[in-house]
Amino acid sequence: MSLFATRPIVKGEEITLHYVNLTDSRAIRRGRLLDMYYFHCECEYCNLPTTEAVAASDAARLELERWPRESYCMPHEWCTNLSLSDNYLVDGHKRCIELHEKEGITDDTYVRHIEELAIVDATLGDEQNCRLWAQKTVEQSEIWHRPEKVTLWREWLLHPKIDFWGLRIKEKSRRR
């Protein structure tokens, strides 16, 4: 068995594994862990100090779970759907990234939000933000051992205005 860290680990820090769906509520996560693995989780995200903190965490995780079903469209779909605001996916992905970080969920979905935010910024012609999120995509892809993504985004950082650059802006101009 191999383990890969999704973020830097300091010496002496505990390493954890995801045994359950991390967007489930605390009660569901703890129940499944007890039923399936016979332990009561005491991590910082399950061992919150108040019922209000638990409710806020459960709400954040529910929002993350619902995003793909209720709010999400792919960047190429949004690019041509001018009924959606320019910030629709920017705000949505930033919100999901914020919730992932707040809840300590650094999984594949977290990385996908970062990468798609770079793509969305590229379609808007926003070089500064695109570079920021592209660099974060490179960093996360290195952590997740995805060399093809590292190569792709490093190449893009060297030659940014290719392929989908400014596509949404072009689409808006074309329809005027």
| Concatenated DSSP letters of 85-112 | -TTHHHHHHHHHHHHHHHHT--SHHHHH
For residue 1, the model assigns a pLDDT of 67
Give 5-20 pLDDT, tens digit per residue: 766 777 887 776 778 9
What angle, 0 to 180 degrees and rounded to 10, lies between the N-to-C axes of helices 26-37 and 51-66? 90
What does pTM read for this prediction? Answer: 0.85
- Mean pLDDT over residues 66-90, rounded? 89
Burial 83-112 (b: 16+ CB within 10 A, else e): eeebeebbebbbbbbebbeebebbeebbbe
For residue 13, the model assigns a pLDDT of 75
For residue 144, the model assigns a pLDDT of 83
For residue 8, the model assigns a pLDDT of 75
What is the dihedral angle through the alpha carbons of 8, 13, 17, 22, rounded to the nearest 10 degrees? -80
Question: Between 24 and 161, whose confidence is greater?
Answer: 24
